[in-house]
Every structure is written in C-alpha cells, then in structure tokens.
Amino acid sequence: MLVALAGGVGGARLLSGLVQVVDPAEVTAVVNTGDDMTLHGLHISPDIDTVVYTLAGVHNRSTGWGVATESWNVMDELERLGGETWFRLGDRDLATHLYRTQRLGEGARLHEVTTELARARGVEVRVLPMSDDAVRTRLVLAESAGGVAAGTEVAFQHYFVGLRHAVTVSSVRFDGVAEASPAPGVLDAIGEAEAVVVCPSNPVVSIGPILAVPGVRKALVARREQVVAVSPIVAGAALKGPADRLLVELGHESTVVGVARLHAEWVGTLVIDERDAHLKDAVEAQGVRAVVAPTIMSSPQVAGSLAAVVLDAAR
Ligand code: FO1
C-alpha cells in the first residue's frame, strides 16, 4: 500500500501518475484541508475536491480546480443579486458542496463524506482528509493589499484567490491544528505503507498543514527511509502558485537545497528536476538522497514516468 501526501493541483497531477503504475485500490491519499472554508453556508474542501475530480478524470484541465464542462448559472444569478462571487463555484461543483454540507449537518465526519464523494465519482484511491477537525490556514500580510492593511491576518482563500496571492506575508499559521487529530486511518496508513510519496504541492500551505496535525510528523520521521518527495521547486521557482515566494518570505530558500533542508528530518529522498541536476551534491549534503528525473508533469505520460521513478526510489 502506498501513501501520498497531497495538496491541490500539484498533488493531483502526481496522484494521476501514480495510479498509472500501481493499483489505485493500493493508494491512500492524505489530503490537506487547511484551504477549507465555509462560504454561502457551504463547507468547501478545495484540495480534496481537486484530488477527487482529477482522479475521476472530470477536473477542469486549464485551471486544475473545479469541474470540466462546467456552467455558471448560479454564480451569474448570484452576481445579479449582489451576492459573493469572488470565489467561483460552478453549478456542478456546487453539488459537491451541497452534498458535503448536508452530510456533515447530519453528523457524518469529513472522512466519511470524502469517501462517499470519491466512491460516487468512481475513484478507487482511498482519499483521506488529513483530519476531520477544522484546521484553517491563516496568513499575516507583510504589506497592505486589496484594501487590507499590513499586519492583518487573512484566511487562506482570501490570500490565494481574493488577493491572488500577489502580496508578501510575514507569517502563516494553521488555526485549530493543535486541537486536531489525524483522520482515522492516516497514522496506520503511514505506518504500514511500502512507500510514502510527498507530492509536489506547496511545502508551506499544502504539505505544512498535514505535517502540523499532531502525530503525523512523528509517524513520517519513523518512516523516513521510505519517504520520497518530489520537489515543488524547479530551478528556483514554483511551477504554479506562490510556493517559491512563501518559502523566501518565511525565511527559507526557494531552491531544491532549501526544500531538502526544510524536509530533511522526515524525507529520505528528494526527486529533483534535471534542471537542478547540478545541485544534486548540495541536496545530498543536507543528508537527503537526491534522484534526478523530469519532474514537470506536462502530460499524463510524464506523470506516469515520474511516479515510476518515485516508487523505484522508495524501494
Ligand atoms: N482558485 C482561484 O484562483 N479562483 C477561484 O475562483 C477558485 C474557486 C475554487 C472553487 C472550488 C475549488 O475546489 C477550488 C477553487 N479554487 C479557485 C482553487 C482554490 O483556491 C485552491 O485552494 C487552490 O487551488 C490551492 O490549492
């Protein structure tokens, strides 16, 4: 059995590569829920939905999130009513949030609802939230932006979508994480896995929250030799989103060496792109084994080849 730690788009891409090389029923994805939020009274779990939609093959390929062949009638009507439409919720995507909110209201736990939604979309991978408890990523702005003063703490989606992450931050925290527990099955999966794959998701706001859930980091440290991470940074930059800027703003280095240093305690092997081959020794100087391979998943074929490299590195 394989465990994959995943955030949004980067995680979903590697997961769709992994299921090409291993039986999907043998894969457990532990997904970040720090991006979750309540909007229009609905519980929205963006990274879980991105993972499920991508594994189901129904995701929007241009944005990476939401559903393909989407319509926007509710958003258009809400706009006419003067409602909140800054966070785009398509008509089909809304069904997911309506279902999840209804089931949670009936007392179901987030991991149960996630299983129901994954099964309903024909996804065989076991998709687990990192926790059933509310953990919410919040960021303090280092400068004023979009009418928000420097020093203000904002919710993740306000930073990421509302402000288009076009603002520097001075700190990040995961509200509620100290009181949270890993979702049922998370620690056992990590303990029993043949390999733990860390997807090339944002190390600060996608992998960070998963690590912060009590018990998870310790469980990963114990499996360090079987933990293989794919660097989310290639040639000093993130492929998508603010990972490179967040790393620098929080005092880390936005290079594969910086990623190795950040994860050295619990990651035994870091897969770096060929563009960073010259940094292999510098990564290994951090005590992390480096494997060089094409990591830019420009096609499902590349994702499949990368997944094979990752599994080989874990064995
Ligand atoms: N990202 C955006 O940049 N703009 C949006 O309007 C937006 C809507 C949205 C709706 C549902 C969903 O599951 C994800 C959505 N995302 C949107 C992505 C979301 O911000 C994710 O948290 C990021 O992709 C980071 O993982």
Q: How far apart are CA 150 and CA 140, in angstroms?
A: 8
210, pLDDT greater than 90: yes
For range 12-22, the mean pLDDT: 95
Query: What residue's CA is closest to ligand 1, atom 14?
Result: 46
Taking the model in full, what pTM does it have?
Answer: 0.98
**For residues 263-276, average pLDDT:** 98
> Quick check: 204 pLDDT over 90?
yes
- Cα distance between residue 83 and residue 164, in whole Å: 20
Pick from 5, 31, 61, 88 the residue to mutate for probing ligand 1's pocket: most ligand atoms within 8 Å of its CB.
Answer: 88
Percent of the chain with pLDDT over 90: 98
Asked whether the beta carbons of 206 and 9 are under 8 A apart, the reply is: no
Query: What tens digit of pLDDT does each residue of 174-197 get?
Result: 999 999 999 999 999 999 999 999
How far apart, in whole angstroms, are the C-alpha atoms of residue 11 and residue 34? 14
User: Model confidence at 234, in pLDDT bands (50, 70, 90)?
Assistant: very high
Please, are residues 241 and 165 in contact by the beta-carbon 8 Å criterion?
Answer: yes
From atom 18 of ligand 1, which residue's Cα is the shortest distance away? 65
Query: In this predicted structure, what is the pLDDT of residue 315?
Result: 85
CATH fold of 1-132+187-315: Rossmann fold (3.40.50)
pLDDT for 170: 98
Instruction: Look at ligand 1, atom 1, and give the residue with the nearest C-alpha.
Output: 161
Probe residue for ligand 1, chosen from 13, 78, 161 as the CB with the greatest number of ligand atoms within 8 Å? 161
**Cα 219 to middle of ligand 1, angstroms:** 30
- Ligand 1 pocket list (CB less than 6 A): 7-9, 35, 46-47, 49-50, 65-66, 87-89, 93, 157, 160-161
Atom 2, ligand 1: which residue's CA is nearest?
161
Write the single-letter amino acid at 248: V
CA of 45 to the centre of ligand 1 (A): 10
131: CA distance to ligand 1 center in Å?
A: 20
Distance 161 CA to ligand 1 centre (A): 7
Confidence band of 290 (pLDDT split at 50, 70, 90): very high
Q: What is the DSSP letter of 183?
A: P
**pLDDT tens track for 51-89:** 999 999 999 999 999 999 999 999 999 999 999 999 999
pLDDT at 22: 96
Q: Where are the domains of the chain?
A: 1-132+187-315, 136-175
| pLDDT tens digit sequence for 144-169 | 999 999 999 999 999 999 999 999 99
pLDDT at 8 (0 to 100): 86
Residue with tokens 């509310």: 134
- Taking the centre of ligand 1 as the mean of its atom positions, its distance from the CA of residue 287, in whole angstroms, is 35
Helix and strand totals (H; E) in the chain: 13, 14
Between residues 240 and 135, the one the model is more confident about: 135
Determine the distance separating the centroid of ligand 1 and the alpha carbon of 46, expressed in angstroms. Answer: 6
How high is the pLDDT of residue 7? Answer: 96
The dihedral through the CA atoms of 128, 24, 301, 279 has a sign that is: positive
Ligand 1 atom with the shortest distance to the CA of 88 = 6
Task: Give residue-wise pLDDT tens across range 108-121.
Answer: 999 999 999 999 99
The residue contributing the CA closest to ligand 1 atom 19 is 46
pLDDT at residue 129, rounded to an integer: 98
